[in-house]
Each structure stands twice: as structure tokens, then as C-alpha cells.
Amino acid sequence: MARGWESKSIEDQQAAAVEARKPGKPPMTPEQVRRQKQHDGLTLSRKHVLDQMRNAHNPSHRKMLEQALADLDHQLNRLS
């Protein structure tokens, strides 16, 4: 059976509950959660672009990937 958005939401809620129970670490605010998810998504996209660059042979495709990588790095730096 395919997993839908509902199961993802439940997983997020469970992960947040586990995180909240950890001693010595205050729970994350909704803004911190949003930024963490955004950071995780950008990091995953960056990894995907790097994987594509390893196999890119066409110079124009490689240039496009380099520009995408630079943009992702810029966005990650803004989040920090």
C-alpha cells in the first residue's frame, strides 16, 4: 500500500513528540521546524545535483548544474 501525506504527517508528529521528550533540549518552535525542513530539502537537492554533475558530459548541462549548485549553496548560506 502506498504511503500518503497522512502517514507523513503522523511520522512528523511522532518525531516531534520524541524530540520534545529528550531532556536538556527545548522543543523546536514552528519557525525552527520550518527552517530545518527547508535546510534538509536544500541539502538533499544539493546532493542530487552533485550526483548529476558526476555523470554530466554535455558542457551546457554541466554549466546549468554548476549554476544550480551555486544557487543552492547561496540559499543554504542565507539559512545559516
The contacts of residue 73 (CB under 8 Å, 6+ apart) are: 46
> pTM here?
0.66
Q: Rounded distance, CA 56 to CA 48, Å?
A: 12
Treating both helix axes as pointing N-terminal to C-terminal, what angle do 59-79 and 30-55 enclose, rounded to 10 degrees? Answer: 160
Looking at the predicted structure, is the pLDDT value of residue 67 above 70?
yes
Looking at the predicted structure, is the pLDDT value of residue 8 above 80?
no
The pLDDT score that the predictor gives to residue 52 is 97
pLDDT in tens, 18-66: 766 667 778 889 999 999 999 999 999 999 999 999 999 999 999 999 9
Neighbours of 49 (CB within 10 A): 20
The pLDDT score that the predictor gives to residue 18 is 73
Looking at the predicted structure, is the pLDDT value of residue 74 above 80?
yes
